[in-house]
């Protein structure tokens, strides 16, 4: 079945630094990938839609200059949290799908900013 790999699974960084999270589709090509954020005991909130070869589409309220998304190939999308602050600490999850198939989620990345 379709597999989405996300790396790293957890990361701790200091306030002010940047963190890059990778999302890979292992056995299919994905022209579109989705990035979600989940705070403790809350639902998944869509942050942005990553489009291969073009700019990402951000949801209302999500700062595009803070959450940089790059989708340089059909199997890789990256989310970079720039100048991270403690309030950015969260669980970030990506998802992607082969055509005509339900979305598959990565394992998520738990980011802790100290």
Partner 1 sequence: GENVEQHPSTLSVQEGDSAVIKCTYSDSASNYFPWYKQELGKRPQLIIDIRSNVGEKKDQRIAVTLNKTAKHFSLHITETQPEDSAVYFCAASMGGGSQGNLIFGKGTKLSVKP
Q: Which is nearer to partner 1, 9 or 15 (CB)?
A: 9
Q: Is there a contact between 66 and 81 (Cβ–Cβ < 8 Å)?
A: yes
Instruction: Kindly tell me which of 6 and 78 has the beta carbon lying closer to partner 1.
Output: 6
Q: Is residue 54 a contact residue for partner 1 (CB under 8 A)?
A: no
Strand locations in 1-114 (E): 4-7, 10-13, 19-25, 32-38, 44-51, 57-58, 67-73, 76-81, 90-96, 104-105, 109-113
Does residue 95 belong to the site contacting partner 1 (CB under 8 A)? yes
Instruction: Please identify, using beta-carbon distances, which residue of 80 and 91 lies nearer to partner 1.
Output: 91
Residue 2 C-beta: closest distance to partner 1, Å: 10
Which residues in this chain contact partner 1 in the complex, by CB under 8 A? 32, 34, 42-46, 49, 91, 93, 95, 97-108, 110
């Amino acid at each position: 079945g379709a597999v989405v790999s996300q790396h790293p699974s957890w990361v701790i960084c200091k306030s002010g630094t940047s963190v890059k999270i990778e999302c890979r589709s292992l056995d299919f090509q994905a022209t579109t990938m989705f990035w979600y954020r989940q705070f403790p005991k809350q639902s998944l909130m869509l942050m942005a839609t990553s489009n291969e070869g073009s700019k990402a589409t951000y949801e209302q309220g999500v700062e595009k200059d803070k959450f940089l998304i790059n989708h340089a190939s059909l199997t890789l999308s990256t989310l970079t949290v720039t100048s991270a602050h403690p309030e950015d600490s969260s669980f970030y999850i990506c998802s992607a799908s082969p055509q005509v198939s339900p979305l598959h989620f990565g394992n998520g990345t738990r980011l802790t900013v100290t």
